[in-house]
Amino acid sequence: MIKITLKDGSVREYEKEVSIYQVAMDISEGLARVALAGLLNDKLSDLRTMIREDASLSILTFDNDGGKHSYWHTSTHVMAQAVKRLFPEAKLAIGPAIENGFYYDFDISRTLTPDDLVKIEEEMKKIIKEKHEIERFELPRDEAMEKMKSIGEDYKAELIRDLPEDVVISFYKQGEFVDLCAGPHLMNTGMIKAYKLLSIAGAYWRGNENNKMLQRIYGIAFPKKTLLDEYLHRLEEAKKRDHRKLGKELDLFSMQDEGPGFPFFHPKGMIIRNVLEDFWREEHRKNSYDEIKTPIILDVELWKRSGHWDHYKENMYFTEIDEREFAVKPMNCPGGMLMYKRSMHSYRDLPIKMAELGLVHRHELSGALHGLMRVRNFTQDDAHIYMTPEQIKDQIIEVIKLTDSIYNVFGFKYRVELSTKPDNAMGSDEDWDKATNALKQALETLGMEYRLNEGDGAFYGPKIDFHLEDSIGRTWQCGTIQLDFQMPERFDLNYIGADGEKHRPVMIHRTVLGSIERFIGILIEHYAGAFPIWISPEQVRILPIAPTHHEYARELKEKLAEKGVRVYVDFRDEKIGYKIREAQLQKVPYMLVVGDKEMESSSVSVRARSEGDLGAMKADEFIEKAVEEIQSKK
């Protein structure tokens, strides 16, 4: 007797082995119709999987990640089958389900065009209509290899060659199409309902730039047309929040052909920058940081000593002054080291926390540039903390808390990653282990969830990264905390301990916002350009009805400006509806309409960006309210 415990705790008993699909059928036919995969003993499993002993099982539908995965996996097979029909010579590489949809990589001699996508979609329609049963079978390694080689699937053969010894090599077959695949898959191709092929992209075989570039097709699929439409609509909406589009519309910044990756900040963008930096300074003063500024160009010798010459040269810019070699700084730390070394330090002075809004330049690959998110020059809100080894954990915790409190002001969700020793690292394994453990402990003390990112640390130390999301869900690293035993050694940093001897301090490199530029990009998308009033470049716009009200508007403006409010008057000879429309499109938080009524009663008619007409109130009352709202950073 086999006992199967279901999600709701109920138990089903079977005389002999049974497939997950059959169990779903037994629960209800309706469930079986929408079943896409099973979670068998917490393992994502194919519906065909036979249950041979007692187990827990839940049936997965499109509402579960596992179900979606299976749905998209079959979708990509249908797409691959269509491609093989249209391009019989195409070789298959890999084709997984991803977070949002699926892709498949092909090696095809001719480059695909958007027209091809339409043809492939049409062929997919036929395959879905043909409703092929999907069969799973296994082969021993040799036979599997032989089979793939015989049909010219060289990439699949290579994959089989590199599979671990103990793995079961499975295939899925639908009609004439066979693919090496671990599954899981749906029962037949007819279950794919609404789908769309979204884009063609290049992708290196196995993600290695030394390998051949393949053609990747991305797609998405849903069990209902309405879901697909909703998804496509959401994509469109997300595009409207794109910081590059809003940056132009709201006149915040621009990129010029003359400076690829070097952003220009316009007056309104500068207001946002300055507001951010003021806020940042305030928070750092409260947390006992000192602020410094180090030069942008420094002698190449410094960069040789710091290790950047050996580990970071490819990303650096160089120049010559009076026949002496200089480098443009890609990081602020070496300059910071010199600041530390300028005098003796006592253990009583530690930790020393030196912050710097430092402009750094890095040579990023041209194809990697992306609006304000990835640029070639940016301002890091950097700080270096010099401390005794005993202070490490507390200092890391303090930085994590500071970062969290600052992100909370903006209401950001974030993800934390711990990155470990990379291939081109500097320093001993012991140092790295010590540093990595310190970061881990700090995270665990705070009970923070984090993702491990093997081999992605800085060349001088492991790091904790804070990732923020953009409008379409891509994440960008912003805050970072890096523990470093190397630089203090290389620069022979010291402090005098209680014993009167010299000791080696440990240092932390850290940023909270990360790059001011990137952070502004994230801010723009997060708020869709409708900044909270304390950040808004223009906080209040006064809209006089007619020229006779200009004088009153001017007086109001002065009153508000005196209180530090960023206020402008629209003196143009236009109708009120026109002025409102423009202020609204510019996402100004408050519009004050002033005409005869308001003039007579020393009041203003308030229109809020989001709520619309709020009616009249005394001018002084509005000013007080606005100032309060700005100060509270809501």
Q: Look-up: residue for tokens 């990303």?
A: 315
Q: What track of x and - describes contact with RNA for positions 395 through 434 (by CB under 7 A)?
A: ----------------------------------------
Of 66 and 488, nearer to RNA (C-beta) is 66
Q: How many residues does the chain have?
A: 634
Residues 214-233 close enough to bind RNA by CB under 7 A: 215-216, 218
**Does residue 210 interact with RNA by CB under 7 A?**
no
Q: In what helix (H) or strand (E) does residue 483 lie, and over which residues does it extend?
A: strand 475-484
Q: How many CB atoms lie within 10 A of CB 202?
A: 11
Nearer to RNA, 455 or 564 (CB): 455
Give me the catalytic one of 179, 381, 382, 484: 382
Interface with RNA, residue 151, by CB under 7 A: no
Of 277-285, 527-535, 554-562, 583-591: span binding RNA (CB under 7 A): 583-591
Set 81, 156, 329, 333: catalytic member: 333
Among 149, 597, 625, 633, indicate the residue that binds RNA (CB under 7 A): 597
Contact 355, 290 (CB under 8 A): yes
Tokens matching residue 6: 């279901």
Position among 20, 159, 221, 352 found at the interface with RNA (CB under 7 A): 159
Nearer CB in complex with RNA: 77/384: 77
431 included as an active-site residue? no
Q: How would you label 4-39 residue by residue, b for 16+ Cβ within 10 Å and e otherwise?
A: beeeeeeeeeeeeebebbbbbeebeeeebeebbbbb
Using CB under 7 A, which of 468, 580, 617, 626 touches RNA? 580
Residue 441 annotated in active site? no
Cis peptide before 184 (omega within 30 of 0): yes
Cβ burial of 264 (10 Å; 0-12, 13-18, 19+) is: exposed
Nearer to RNA, 292 or 576 (CB): 576
Among residues 13, 29, 99, 430, the one that binds RNA under rule CB under 7 A = 99
**Count of residues engaged in binding RNA, rule: CB under 7 A:** 73
Residue 362 is a catalytic residue: yes
Catalytic residue among 308, 362, 376, 541: 362
User: In the bound complex, what is the minimum distance in angstroms from residue 250's beta carbon to RNA?
Assistant: 12
Q: Give burial (CB, 10 Å; 0-12/13-18/19+) of 479.
A: buried
Q: Among the candidate windows 55-63, 206-214, 491-499, 516-524, which touches RNA by CB under 7 A?
A: 206-214
Residue 238 backbone dihedrals phi, psi, to 5 degrees: -60, -35
Smallest separation (angstroms) from RNA to the CB of 589: 13
Q: Please identify, using beta-carbon distances, which residue of 285 and 451 lies nearer to RNA.
A: 451
- Annotated active-site residue 566? The verdict is no
The minimum distance between CB 202 and RNA, in angstroms, equals: 3
If binding is defined by CB under 7 A, does position 86 make contact with RNA? Answer: no
Under rule CB under 7 A, residue 140 binds RNA: no
Using the minimum distance from each CB to RNA, give the nearer residue, 300 or 542: 542
Q: Which of 13, 314, 323, 573 binds RNA (CB under 7 A)?
A: 573
Q: In this structure, what is the dihedral angle of CA atoms 176, 177, 178, 181, given to the nearest 10 degrees? A: -150
- Measured distance CA(214)–CA(205) in Å, rounded: 6
Judge contact between 27 and 48, C-beta under 8 A. Answer: no
Of the pair 275, 369, the CB lying nearest RNA is at 369
Active site residue 509: yes
- DSSP character string of 81-98: HHHHHH-TTPEE----EE
Q: Which helix (H) or strand (E) holds 629?
A: helix 619-631
Q: Of 395, 445, 390, which Cα lies nearest the Cα of 289?
A: 395
DSSP state of 476: E
Comparing CB distances to RNA, the nearer of 24 and 580 is 580
Residue 382 annotated as catalytic: yes
| Residue entry with tokens 């409703």 | 131
Which region among 32-40, 334-342, 553-561, 567-575 touches RNA (by CB under 7 A)? 567-575
The residue from 463, 526, 541, 566 that is catalytic is 463
Rounded (10°) CA dihedral 590, 593, 594, 596: -150
Q: Closest by alpha carbon to 513, among 355, 625, 333?
A: 355
**What are the residues whose beta carbons fall under 8 Å from the beta carbon of 71, sequence distance 6 or more?**
36, 62, 97, 186, 191, 192, 221, 223
528 binds RNA (CB under 7 A): no
| Contact call for residue 169 and RNA (CB under 7 A) | yes
Which residues in the 102-121 window bind RNA by CB under 7 A?
111, 113-114
98 is a contact residue toward RNA (CB under 7 A): yes
Task: Tell me if 295 sits within 8 A of 303, measured CB to CB.
Answer: no
Residue 248, interface with RNA (CB under 7 A)?
Answer: yes
What is the distance in angstroms between the CA of the first residue and the CA of the last residue of the chain?
A: 62
Instruction: Please give the residues from 270 up to 329 whose contact with RNA meets the rule CB under 7 A.
Output: none
Identify the residue among 184, 334, 371, 457 touching RNA (CB under 7 A). Answer: 371
Among 325, 546, 621, 628, binds RNA (CB under 7 A): 546
Catalytic residue among 353, 384, 557, 607: 384
- Smallest gap from Cβ 1 to RNA, in A, equals 31
Indicate the residue among 111 and 343 with the shorter CB distance to RNA.
Answer: 111
Angle at 632 between CA 628 and CA 634, to 5 degrees: 110
CB of 437 within 8 A of CB of 462? no
Selected binder of RNA within 240, 446, 578, 631 (CB under 7 A): 578
Angle at the Cα of 135 (from 132 to 137), degrees rounded to 5? 155
Q: Which residues participate in catalysis according to the annotation?
A: 333, 362, 380, 382, 384, 463, 509
